[in-house]
């Protein structure tokens, strides 16, 4: 029911203006917010209502007229509820785009009609492909500044489509011409572009169908073991976590990984309320028939899973590097995968992705905003899935032990 959207574009492509326009035209903007924006528009601009100020919430952003950090906005129409991650297009652009895209159903990639496809656009399409964003809307913005010219629009769409087809995992584009500033094709169909027969953006967002998650069979990474030790619940041992991959029911046979023991589900609670079955996404606790040693980090897997996960301490992953300090072969990091935290050693940097050409080249190290592929040795076995088959089992982050900073997002592709 909720559609999660990430926006991406270069600096000045008009992302914040577009989101401001969506919020404003869907009447999501409250009167006090609007009057604050009116006041700020006078201070930071020429006085005409600057809708970007609705999302650029930090003082430095207002002063510099840029977006610094991912901002989340919530709005609803009678048909759907939306969460928008507004991801900035400069400095830490890849890190922000990866973060925004990681939890999104749809990515809106903005292109300035005057400039056409830039390296940033190609980068955004590449990130969408790498992160497995299911739907991409290519919004060719500022059509008012190219006289709403149909040929310009088609040229940009053709160029973007050619790039999208060449990506490691091809991305299907839903293109449309807009003017975020004037509102053309945002909420209402544009009268300036009668040649465009598609839906305006909001109609598209309201009706677009998100493909369901791939069913690999139930997985539950144990977060916490509930042991009440009370008289009433003396023998209760609940393995708490979020169910992913498939449904689970009382009576199901499960395996505990990496250990390999088997048992049967005898109880499922959600928020302390017993239920017979659980669906993916639900935060539950599971009781088992046998007294097995299970702790945080272990994964309960349906014994008859349609696709069994891999248990391995050697992984191959695509990586988005997010900090200034470079990633080098032989370096050591903390890896967090599902509910397991362990040490990881970079045994090889296989390649660096060239986002502009959708090709790759050998690399000695990876720097801020680089995308690449690495091989890691992990101090303990992890229970992994291919990221494209089962996202929670294929996603991980690297943390710098010295600073505590999150340095990388990993999309696990395989074991070594």
Partner 1 sequence: MTMIDSGTQATPAEIKQSVAELEDEAITIIREVAAECRNPVLLFSGGKDSAVLLHLAAKAFRPGSLPFPVMHVDTGHNFEEVITYRDMLVEQYGVKLIVASVQESIDSGRAVEETGPRPSRNRLQSVTLLDAIAEHKFDAAFGGGRRDEDKARAKERILSFRDHFGQWEPRAQRPEPWNMLNAKIRPGEHLRAFPLSNWTELDIWRYIGIENVALPSIYFSHRRTVVERNGMLLSVGGPVVLEAGETPFEETVRYRTVGDASCTGAVRSTASNVDEVLVEVAAARITERGATRADDNFSDSAMEDRKREGYF
Report the DSSP beta bridge partners of residue 242. Answer: 283
CB of 202 to partner 1, least distance (A): 14
Among 96, 129, 141, 185, binds partner 1 (CB under 8 A): 96
Q: Does 395 bind partner 1 (CB under 8 A)?
A: yes
Q: Which is nearer to partner 1, 40 or 348 (CB)?
A: 40
Q: Which is nearer to partner 1, 67 or 141 (CB)?
A: 67
Rounded to an integer, what distance in angstroms lies between the CA atom of residue 110 and that of residue 138?
6
Cβ(255)–Cβ(294) below 8 Å: no
Q: Does 220 bind partner 1 (CB under 8 A)?
A: no
Question: x/- contact string, 316-355, with partner 1 (CB under 8 A)?
Answer: ----x-x-----------x-x--x-x--------------
Among 58, 162, 210, 266, binds partner 1 (CB under 8 A): 58
Contacting range for partner 1; rule: CB under 8 A; set: 115-123, 255-263, 355-363, 404-412: 404-412
Q: Radius of gyration of the chain from Cα atoms? A: 24
Site for partner 1 in 265-304 (CB under 8 A): 269-272, 281-283, 296
Q: Does 64 bind partner 1 (CB under 8 A)?
A: no
Q: Give the Å distances, CA to CA, from 131 to 62, 103, 128, 371.
A: 30, 9, 5, 11
Rounded to an integer, what distance in angstroms lies between the CA atom of residue 243 and that of residue 225?
15
Q: Which is nearer to partner 1, 225 or 303 (CB)?
A: 225
Contacting range for partner 1; rule: CB under 8 A; set: 9-17, 106-114, 163-171, 395-403: 395-403
Helices (H), 83-232: 93-102, 119-130, 150-165, 201-207
Q: Does 310 bind partner 1 (CB under 8 A)?
A: no
Reduced DSSP (H G I as helix, E B as strand, rest coil) percent helix, strand, coil of the chain, to 5: 20, 35, 40
Among 47, 57, 194, 251, binds partner 1 (CB under 8 A): 57
Q: Does 379 bind partner 1 (CB under 8 A)?
A: no
From 260, 246, 245, select the one nearest 387 (Cα to Cα). Answer: 245
From 288, 258, 282, 252, select the one nearest 270 (Cα to Cα). Answer: 282
From 240, 267, 264, select the one nearest 254 (Cα to Cα). Answer: 264
Q: Does 404 bind partner 1 (CB under 8 A)?
A: yes
From 112, 111, 121, 55, select the one nearest 85 (Cα to Cα). Answer: 55
Q: Does 226 bind partner 1 (CB under 8 A)?
A: yes
The site that binds partner 1 (CB under 8 A) totals a number of residues, namely: 74
Q: Which is nearer to partner 1, 72 or 195 (CB)?
A: 72
Cβ(314)–Cβ(345) below 8 Å: no
Tokens for 284, please give them. Answer: 């539950």
Q: Does 228 bind partner 1 (CB under 8 A)?
A: yes
Q: What is the DSSP letter of 115?
A: T
CB of 147 to partner 1, least distance (A): 35
């Amino acid at each position: 029911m909720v559609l999660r959207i990430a926006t991406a574009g270069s600096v000045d492509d008009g992302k914040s203006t577009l989101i401001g326009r969506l919020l404003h035209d869907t009447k999501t903007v409250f009167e006090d917010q609007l009057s604050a924006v009116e006041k700020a528009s006078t201070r930071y601009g020429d006085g005409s209502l600057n809708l970007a100020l609705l999302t650029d919430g930090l003082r430095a952003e207002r002063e510099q007229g840029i977006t610094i950090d991912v901002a989340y906005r919530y709005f609803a129409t009678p048909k759907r509820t939306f969460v928008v991650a507004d991801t900035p297009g400069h400095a830490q652009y890849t890190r922000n785009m990866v973060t925004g895209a990681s939890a999104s159903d749809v990515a809106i990639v903005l292109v300035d009609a005057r400039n056409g496809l830039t390296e940033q656009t190609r980068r955004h399409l590449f990130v969408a492909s790498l992160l497995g964003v299911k739907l991409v809307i290519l919004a060719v913005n500022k059509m008012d500044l190219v006289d709403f010219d149909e040929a310009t629009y088609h040229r940009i769409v053709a160029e973007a489509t050619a790039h999208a087809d060449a990506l490691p995992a091809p991305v299907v584009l839903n293109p449309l011409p807009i003017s975020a500033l004037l509102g053309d094709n945002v909420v209402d169909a544009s009268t300036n572009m009668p040649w465009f027969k598609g839906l305006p953006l909001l109609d598209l967002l309201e009706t677009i169908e998100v493909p369901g998650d791939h069913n690999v069979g139930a997985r539950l990474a144990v977060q916490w073991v509930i042991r009440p030790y009370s008289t009433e619940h003396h023998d209760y041992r609940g393995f708490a976590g979020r169910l992913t991959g498939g449904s689970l029911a009382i009576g199901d046979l499960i395996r505990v990984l990496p250990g390999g023991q088997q048992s049967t589900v005898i109880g499922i609670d959600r928020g302390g309320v017993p239920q017979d079955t659980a669906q993916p996404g639900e935060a539950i606790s599971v009781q088992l028939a046998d007294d097995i040693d299970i702790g945080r980090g272990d994964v309960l897997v349906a014994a008859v899973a349609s696709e069994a996960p891999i248990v391995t301490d050697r992984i191959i992953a695509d990586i988005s590097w997010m900090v200034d300090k470079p990633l080098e072969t032989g370096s050591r990091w903390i890896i967090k995968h599902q509910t397991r935290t362990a040490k990881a050693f970079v045994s090889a940097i296989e390649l660096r992705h060239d986002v502009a050409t959708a090709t790759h080249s050998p690399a000695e190290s990876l720097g801020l905003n680089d995308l690449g592929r690495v091989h890691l040795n992990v101090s303990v076995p992890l229970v992994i899935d291919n990221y494209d088959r089962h996202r929670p089992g294929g996603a991980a982050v690297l943390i710098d032990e010295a600073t505590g900073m999150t340095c990388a997002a990993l999309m696990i592709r395989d074991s070594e």
